[in-house]
Structure 1
Amino acid sequence: MSFHKNIEAKSSIPGTKLKNNLPFTSSGIPSLDHVIGGGLPATGIFALEEDILGNYSRVLTKYFLAEGIVCKHDLFIACADEDPENIIKELPQPTTEPLEDVSSVNEGIDKMKIAWRYEGLSRVESSFGKSTNFGHHFDLSKYMDSETIKTCNIIYCDPNKSQHILKGFKNSLYSTLLTSIQKAVSKEEYKSSSKNNKNMLRISIQSLGSPIWMAMDCDEGLDSSHYGQDLIKFMYCLRVMLRDTNSVVFVTIPSHLFNDEEHVMKRILYSIDNSVRIESFTGSTKETNPVYKDYHGLFHITKLSTPFSLVPFVPPSLDLAFKLKRKKFLIEKLHLPPELQESSEREQDDITATPPSCGGFKKKDIEF
């Protein structure tokens, strides 16, 4: 009998790792990489359903682009709501893991007193990705140096500036964006079958299907039904276009605008590998609920896929929440806060529950 030792293959593309013989890259947030199965796979589409105001989805987009600059990946930035060049100016600065968080955790452990029977149990990991070596950490309170950004190859795409009409599309914005992406991914350096594939293309599409895209349908005299058809067709064409390429797409979609047409988002999920949804507490009744006082919103996983594997990835928990601190964005398990304050009734119950030392029971000590 003979056997061979499995040797872990190393990826030739910087900032990536091989998993199931497929390059994976980091999203820039270690906790997000942990809950979706280790990162973003090449040739894959990661969709983020935006919160109503879109504030937190922009933060995740900046993480994705900042990770690409640190790893020296090529970037493709597309946005119809604002100038894509303005997005790159507010990327977070790379840094190491903040020491203040580690010290606060250790200090809390020293002060905490628990029963001896629970001391041998393993600790429950509430925040993910702390011990991983994949990806980088960033400081949201500081912006990345402009000189560092200039060293990266960046392609900007504003669908409003030029118009290309493709067969099958009614909205010219989708045609323009799809034509620009096809031109970018068709380069030889991004082909997975090529010997010169030594780089990865990160494609960021912000607010795909926003009211700007709807307004274009109205300007061209189209009804609302064509809007959903073009969006679904765009995602399908994009999926086919990414085959055999070292490129990954990070797209944010305002799905709350499709409440009247729920089938639109369900059909879009067929062309997506991983999808998550952000539910912000801003402006809702949950904002004042004491249960969620330590978080800024809920984090829902709507679709997960494991390419080149028969075993699906199971996240550590589906009850997830997020918080945006001054320096970083965290995804954690949703824990109910303990009741730390004792009421006067609880104290009275504790007094009456203790039996008298001597002299027997009195009438006032007996309650029915």
Structure 2
Amino acid sequence: MAATGTVSSFQKKGKARVVSIPGTHPSIHNSQLLLSCGLPSLDYLIGGGLPVGSILLIEQDRYDVYSKLFLKYYLAEGVMNNHILTLASLDVSPQTITEDLPASIDVEPDEAQTYADDKKMSIAWRYQNKASQPGTNVGNRFGHNYDLTKSMDAEIISHVDLALWDGSEAEEGKGKLENKNYWSLLQLIKKRIEDGNLSTSCNKSKTNVMRLALHSVGSPLWGWEFSHQEKDHQWHNLTTFLFMLRALVRTSFSVCLMTVPSHLFADPNLTLRLQTLADFVIRLESFQGSDKETNPAFKDYHGLFHVVKLAAINSLVSPMLDSTDWVFKLRKRKLMIERLHLPPELSETVSRSQEDPINKPAGPACMGGKLPKNLEF
């Protein structure tokens, strides 16, 4: 037998070298290279971060208020790490989105303690001892902290390799897709991968990654694909675009965050196809304009956060979350994702059940309220 305390020199043959790129770190589970989405709570929900070569699909809220904030966090994190950025949008000017990115800040210790004390007082008493989700602590430095009330300095954004696409260069009749917008965007992404030597087949060492941010893909401005007869509608261009986009992202050091207005899709099969092609899928259900907006149980939140799909990378099954009920709320300075904490049960029924029932009359009036103390059924 080997002596106690002896360290084995065995190493796995052919062990892959982990690439070191600023703003990334390897997963503790499978050494997959991860990037932060800009929100530590979102990084936790998807397994520690967004893996390189994957696509995150966000189904927008009805008024596209909160989904746009996720996109801005994602882009701001790329700016702070000097990543290559490609932003595409037809509904909103890409330049407008970049001008409103949140500024990065450092949270002071006393401010963090004040927030922790306020949160402790606001959570229901029966959840006080329940551990909070990892990745939401102030000490987590994988991602940065941002202030939504402040805009990022334009000088910082100017030093980043940023490409904006608004469909103005799309040409009719050129491409393998009938929709000129989808084909033009694919050609831009392919060219950006080649110019940056980001392809996995390239022998050069990778020193950077590219973040793709696609806003409101599939909206009417991208090219409405409804036919006169709904039974003849196939959604060919949009699903083919996502399939080809996935092939580009898979074979390069790129990640993609794409938002889609799924509430506008009349055909539910389209949403299922998009969910199948994406690696991660989340759906935002805003309380704006719904009955839940006035529900006392949701008074502290702004919407439900549905985790529809998690990727199973180098594993047989996707990771399991410790809760299925998640919500998001927008504070003055930041957006937060939390577990849904229901208010404590303090109704009159509970209070009456704690009283001694023997001293109170019970039963039908014909019995005079007198019942035996012990009943056998």
Which of 143, 154, 176 aligns to 2:184? It is 176
Aligned length: 349
Which residue type is aligned with residue 103 of structure 1? T
TM-score in terms of structure 1 length:
0.84
**1:66 matched residue in structure 2:** 76
2:329 corresponds to: 323
Aligned to 2:146: 138
Secondary structure in 1 aligned to 2:235? helix
For the 8 Å contact 1:35–1:316, the answer to whether it is kept is: no
2:10 to 4, 7, 10: 4
1:124 partner amino acid: A
Does the aligned pair in 1 maintain the 2:83–2:160 contact within 8 Å? yes
Q: Tell me which residue corresponds to 1:359.
A: none
Aligned runs of 1:93-132 on 2, under 5 Å?
A: 93-97=103-107, 99-106=110-117, 123-125=130-132, 129-130=136-137, 131-132=139-140
Report the Cα offset of residue 86 of structure 1: 1.2
Contact 1:92–1:140 (8 Å) recurs in 2: yes
Q: Is this contact kept in 2: 1:74–1:152, CA < 8 A? A: yes
* Secondary structure, counterpart of 2:250 in structure 1: coil
Ranges in structure 2 where 5+ consecutive residues have no aligned partner: 3-7, 360-368, 372-377
Give the aligned residue type for 1:231. Answer: L
For the 8 Å contact 1:30–1:135, the answer to whether it is kept is yes
Residues 124 and 342, structure 2, Cα contact 8 Å, conserved in 1? no
Which AA in structure 2 matches 1:59?
A: L
CA offsets per residue over residues 39-82 of structure 1, 9 Å max, x none?
11111111100001000011000000000000110110100112
Letter in 2 for 1:257: L
- Listed as ranges, the matches of 1:178-217 within 5 Å are 178-192=186-200, 193-215=202-224
CA displacement at 1:249 relative to structure 2: 0.6
Greater alpha carbon shift after TM alignment, 150-159 vs 89-98: 89-98
Alignment of 1:272 with 2:278, yes or no, is yes
- Counterpart of 2:141, as a letter, is N
| AA at the equivalent of 1:147 | E
Identical positions, percent: 34
Output aligned runs, 1:161-172, within 5 Å: 161-163=169-171, 165-172=173-180
Q: Quick one: structure 1 residues 236 and 367, their matched pair in 2 at CA, closer, same or farther if it must change by over 3 Å?
A: farther
Q: Distance in 2 between matches of 1:310 and 1:350?
A: 49
Over 3 Å counting, the alpha-carbon distance change for 1:247 and 1:347 in structure 2 is: closer
Q: Give 3-state SS (helix, strand or coil) of 1:204's partner.
A: strand
Match of 2:51 in 1: 41
Using the alignment, how far apart are the partners of 2:77 and 2:370 within structure 1? 66
Which residues of structure 1 form unaligned runs of 5+? 356-365
1:306 is paired with a residue of what secondary structure? coil
What RMSD in Å do the two structures reach over aligned CA positions?
Answer: 3.3
1:240 aligns with 2:250: no
Measured at CA, do residues 222 and 171 of structure 1 come closer, stay the same or move farther in structure 2, by a change above 3 Å? farther
Within 1, Cα distance between the matches of 2:233 and 2:119? 56
Change over 3 Å in CA distance of 1:145–1:67 after alignment to 2:
same
Shift of 1:10: 5.6
State the distance in 2 between where 1:155 and 1:97 align: 31
Equivalent pair of 2:275/2:309 in contact (CA under 8 Å): yes
Shift of 1:95: 1.2
SS of residue in 2 equivalent to 1:190:
coil
**Contact 1:163-1:175 within 8 A present in 2 as well:** no
Distance 1:154 1:310 in 2: 37
Are the counterparts in 2 of residues 206 and 253 from structure 1 also a CA contact under 8 Å?
Answer: yes
Q: Which amino acid aligns with 1:143?
A: S
Q: Aligned pair in 2 of structure 1 residues 109, 330: CA closer, same or farther (>3 Å)? A: closer
Among 51, 65, 89, the alignment partner of 1:55 is 65
